[in-house]
């Protein structure tokens, strides 16, 4: 959006100023703005910016078309405000001069560009030329600052550990790191906990041995009998005789 707005504004200003220059400066001498430094004078330029390459009008027109197409395609990937202004200035300047080459005499793609701003000791230029130069200067500044088209820094100041998968990279995010650590630590104890549970069986079996060996003659008392409850057995010889039973005397 910034590219389009910048380009449209520059194109509109360039067209309006050229129309005013043709209307006000045709057939008259230079108009001084700053004596000895800046004046306005109307010229027709068949070449590139600042009256360069005057005999290559058609070639320059085709180059301008190619630049506009390439910039338009590249602008879709822009995420930097600074570079958006650069591309907008480039497109605005190129299209501004291309309009003159297409619609002005002597014919399509051979039209002469209207120039009218004259800084002493510098070639005459127009607003479109200024936009192209300013865009180029801003592009150099952004490159020196290491700002890429996506707005990221390209100076390599970021530590190598910031890139995942490289030596010295920081640990995973909090939740992932905790989950991974707890999962790795919880695995072995869960497996090793099995043998203690199995080995706990023999003590339970051996614990019954004293109860068995405590009976006379080593015989085991059936469950639920009086012997198990601590009551005397009927056939126990140590039991006192019962006078009511036969032979109990």
Reply yes or no on whether 129 is catalytic: yes
Exposure on the CB side of residue 177, measured as CA atoms within 13 A: 5
What lies within 8 Å, CB to CB, of 132 at 6+ separation is 49, 89, 90, 93, 94
Cα dihedral 151, 155, 158, 163, rounded to 10, equals: 70
Catalytic residue among 14, 39, 100, 129, which?
A: 129
* Preceding amide of 106 cis, omega within 30: yes
Which DSSP symbol is given to 78?
-
Burial class (CB in 10 A: 0-12, 13-18, 19+), 191: exposed
Over its C-alpha atoms, the chain yields an Rg (Å, rounded) of 50
Reply yes or no on whether 39 is catalytic: no
Measured CA to CA in angstroms, residue 224 lies from 205, 218, 220 at distances of: 19, 18, 12
Q: Decide: 138 and 144 in contact? Cβ < 8 Å.
A: no
Catalytic residue among 115, 157, 236, 242, which?
A: 115
Q: Active-site positions? A: 115, 129
């Amino acid at each position: 959006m910034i590219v389009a707005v910048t380009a449209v504004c520059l194109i509109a200003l360039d067209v309006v100023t050229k129309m005013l220059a043709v209307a006000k400066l045709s057939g008259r001498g230079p108009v001084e703005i700053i004596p000895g430094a800046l004046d306005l004078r109307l010229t027709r330029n068949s070449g590139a910016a600042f009256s360069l390459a005057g005999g290559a009008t058609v070639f320059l027109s085709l180059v301008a078309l190619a630049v506009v197409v390439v910039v338009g395609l590249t602008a879709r990937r822009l995420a930097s405000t600074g570079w958006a202004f650069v591309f907008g200035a480039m497109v605005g300047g190129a299209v501004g001069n291309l309009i003159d080459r297409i619609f002005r005499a002597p014919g399509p793609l051979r039209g002469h560009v209207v120039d009218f701003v004259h800084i002493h000791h510098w070639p005459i230029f127009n607003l479109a030329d200024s936009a192209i130069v300013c865009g180029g200067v801003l592009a150099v500044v952004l490159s020196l600052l290491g700002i890429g088209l996506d707005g990221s820094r390209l100076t390599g100041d970021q530590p190598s550990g910031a890139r995942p998968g490289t030596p010295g990279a920081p640990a995973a995010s909090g939740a992932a790191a905790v989950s991974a650590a707890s999962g790795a630590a919880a695995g072995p104890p869960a497996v090793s906990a099995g043998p203690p549970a199995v080995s706990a069986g023999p003590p339970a079996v051996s614990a019954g041995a004293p109860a068995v060996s405590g009976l006379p003659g080593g015989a085991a008392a059936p469950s639920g009998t009086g012997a198990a409850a601590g009551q005397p057995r009927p056939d126990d010889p140590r039991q006192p005789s019962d006078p009511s039973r036969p032979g109990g005397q």
